[in-house]
Chain A
């Protein structure tokens, strides 16, 4: 399992899960995907391995006996910039939100597709390598813009009267990508890329279609949009001040 010969350029993942039945095959899978994987069965073991190795990314189960994943996330965040991906069960939605708020970079819900997990690991590692700037839990918190509030924890959009306007997964992902990068021009390809990290559903439909749907929901006049503006040369931008709440 240890690929000592490729140490250095092979990303080194620490996989922390008390369930051997998940941990071991997952470690095998990730190794086949070209990662170096170190395993730990509990928080204590994880801490020891993080001191022993230069870990590039931690994959962490939230629910573990003893010290749980949330507490360990906090510890990791306090001691450095190592990215964290949480493994959660759907029943632990609040844990998930708390985890993101504590500085986890992403999460997958059990039972998850290992390929998807590997894809996310790659995205996060690429991001970390590119700028070194960690995305501080991009989806946690609420974003206020032009009288609207996008609550990322609950994935809802609330208007100025406090009425929730439910969004489809695709619409949510697109709007989220826009509000986290206000006044930046995002090309269709960029938007596709940004909305991809989430759920496997929403990609095959054209971004343009999603944009026009979103405009119908949030623009005063969808035919003359003030918020989501089309930029010449292909792309969109959110023309509004965004405040993180």
Chain B
């Protein structure tokens, strides 16, 4: 942005200077030809009248020579020559050839000895003299010297200096103004990016121009509204949990009066299942606002502990005890995610195999089963809550597919991902990948 403005400013300056240069050149032309023409006309008249030629000071004396003093190869000034010719013709002077040359003036020039100090300074500042030679029809050359301002390089420096001033005057305030707008905007963007409804954060300080302030005020208000809505949701879910759990608990107490043991056990299982689902719903809904901070955890021990709990319940879950593997995460939700994956594997595959592998950058927990797997085109769908693939996975096993959705959400929240893959030879692999 700043660069663009700088370039634009420089371009504008360059164009200005181009025009200025043009004008100066024209002015110099007029300045040089005017006096020269007067003097040539004067000399021409004197020659015609047979008078002696003189005047104009010692160094710039007009003189009459038999040949042009300008060497043939010298660089000529075409525009001056043309202007002279036009002016001389207008004045009625006949000229054959007109030649010009620019010669530098050195401070040691012997001619300067007879010139006043102020003139010397002026001449030296101009830096050069213009030699004009005009051939009369009789072959004599009228020659004279005029001060000539060099095509100076200072003009380029002046361009740079002026541009620098312009930068100082325009660009610095512009950048300052830009920063004033962009800094609060950047802060706003960062705050929006890092906005996690669970964590209490200070509202962003209102700063910058009015428009930006308005945006910040609106954002702060939005954040409060989102937080309030989530609080409301939590309260609602808490109420739902309580309201559902109470009749569930009442039911659980009442079934003790059922005489038939098998019946009672089945009822108890159903109630337990309902309770687990209720837990899942509540956890899924509360996930964005965790109550437990992440800690350093031995992931190998975590996997081992979860697997061990399943074995204690008589399930067949394979896991080779692994070396200590330190990872930063919230242990309880991760236990739950893994438990849900293993539960899912057991539900469809009767037994499960868990592996833990680590690379320098990531950790992979794989839960494998030998169940029916999932059609390839639906592998992604199972993470959606309330998705159950009746087609391939067993219907009687119950559940509303919340388990995988919860596991997915937990792992995502921990900055990792879960991928499902069908196994060679049948079955499913669920892979939790976590960054180290």
With A110-B245, A110-B249: A161-B296 Cβ-Cβ less than 8 Å: yes
Q: Does B247 contact A (CB under 8 A)?
A: yes
Q: Which of A161-188 contact B (CB under 8 A)?
A: 161-171
| Contact string against B for A residues 197-233, beta-carbon threshold 8 Å, 1 for contact and 0 otherwise | 0000110110000000100110000000000000000
Q: Please report whether the interface of chain B is mostly helix, strand, loop or mixed according to DSSP.
A: helix
Q: Does A40 contact B (CB under 8 A)?
A: no
Q: Does B301 contact A (CB under 8 A)?
A: yes
Q: Does B121 contact A (CB under 8 A)?
A: no
A113 touches B268 (CB 8 A): yes
Q: Does A91 contact B (CB under 8 A)?
A: yes
A168 touches B308 (CB 8 A): yes
Contact of B296 among A162, A167, A169, A205 (CB under 8 A): A162
Q: Which of B288-345 contact A (CB under 8 A)?
A: 295-298, 301-302, 304-309, 311-314, 321, 326, 331, 335
Contact of A22 among B242, B246, B296 (CB under 8 A): B246
Q: Which of B3-11, B100-108, B210-218, B252-260 is the interface stretch?
A: B252-260
Q: Does A19 contact B (CB under 8 A)?
A: yes
Q: Does A146 contact B (CB under 8 A)?
A: no
A112 touches B252 (CB 8 A): yes
Residues of A close to B311: CB separation below 8 A? 205
Q: Does B271 contact A (CB under 8 A)?
A: yes
With A111-B251, A217-B301: A166-B246 Cβ-Cβ less than 8 Å: no
| Contact string against B for A residues 70-96, beta-carbon threshold 8 Å, 1 for contact and 0 otherwise | 000000000000000001011100000
Q: Which of A34-90 contact B (CB under 8 A)?
A: 63, 87, 89-90
Residues of B close to A194: CB separation below 8 A? none
| Contact string against A for B residues 176-188, beta-carbon threshold 8 Å, 1 for contact and 0 otherwise | 0000000000000
A163 touches B253 (CB 8 A): no
With A21-B247, A114-B253: A202-B296 Cβ-Cβ less than 8 Å: no
A58 CB, min distance to chain B CBs, angstroms: 18
Complex formed: what's the CA distance from A26 to B256 in Å? Answer: 9
With A63-B242, A201-B313: A25-B296 Cβ-Cβ less than 8 Å: no
A169 touches B309 (CB 8 A): yes
Residues of B close to A90: CB separation below 8 A? 245, 279
A114 touches B256 (CB 8 A): yes
A168 touches B246 (CB 8 A): no
Q: Does B163 contact A (CB under 8 A)?
A: no
| Contact string against B for A residues 85-122, beta-carbon threshold 8 Å, 1 for contact and 0 otherwise | 00101110000000000000000001111110000000
With A90-B279, A113-B252, A168-B304: A205-B246 Cβ-Cβ less than 8 Å: no
Closest residue of chain B to A87 (Cβ to Cβ) is B249
Q: Does A237 contact B (CB under 8 A)?
A: no
Q: Does B197 contact A (CB under 8 A)?
A: no
Q: Does B372 contact A (CB under 8 A)?
A: no
Residues of B close to A163: CB separation below 8 A? 295-298, 326
A91 touches B282 (CB 8 A): yes
With A168-B304, A168-B306: A110-B248 Cβ-Cβ less than 8 Å: yes
B312 touches A205 (CB 8 A): yes
Residues of A close to B321: CB separation below 8 A? 216
Q: How many residues of B sit at the interface, in one of the four size bands? A: 35 or more
Q: Which of B40-86 contact A (CB under 8 A)?
A: none
B301 touches A25 (CB 8 A): no
With A63-B242, A91-B238, A162-B295: A25-B313 Cβ-Cβ less than 8 Å: no
Residues of A close to B301: CB separation below 8 A? 165-167, 217
| Contact string against B for A residues 133-172, beta-carbon threshold 8 Å, 1 for contact and 0 otherwise | 0000000000000000000000010000111111111110
Complex formed: what's the CA distance from A9 to B156 in Å? Answer: 114
B130 CB, min distance to chain A CBs, angstroms: 90
Closest residue of chain B to A117 (Cβ to Cβ) is B253
B250 touches A19 (CB 8 A): yes
A51 CB, min distance to chain B CBs, angstroms: 28
Contact of B253 among A29, A91, A166, A169 (CB under 8 A): A29
Residues of B close to A202: CB separation below 8 A? 312
Extra 12 A-B pairs, beta carbons < 8 Å, given A25-B253, A112-B249, A163-B296 = A22-B250, A25-B250, A25-B254, A26-B253, A110-B252, A111-B248, A112-B252, A166-B298, A166-B335, A168-B305, A170-B312, A201-B313
Chain A positions near chain B (C-beta within 8 angstroms): 19, 21-22, 25-26, 28-29, 63, 87, 89-91, 110-115, 156, 161-171, 201-202, 204-205, 213, 216-217
Q: List 21 A-B contacts (CB under 8 A).
A: A19-B246, A22-B246, A25-B250, A25-B256, A26-B253, A29-B257, A90-B279, A91-B242, A111-B252, A112-B249, A163-B297, A164-B295, A164-B297, A165-B298, A166-B302, A168-B309, A169-B309, A170-B308, A201-B312, A202-B312, A204-B314
Chain B positions near chain A (C-beta within 8 angstroms): 238, 241-242, 245-254, 256-257, 268, 271-272, 275, 279, 282, 295-298, 301-302, 304-309, 311-314, 321, 326, 331, 335
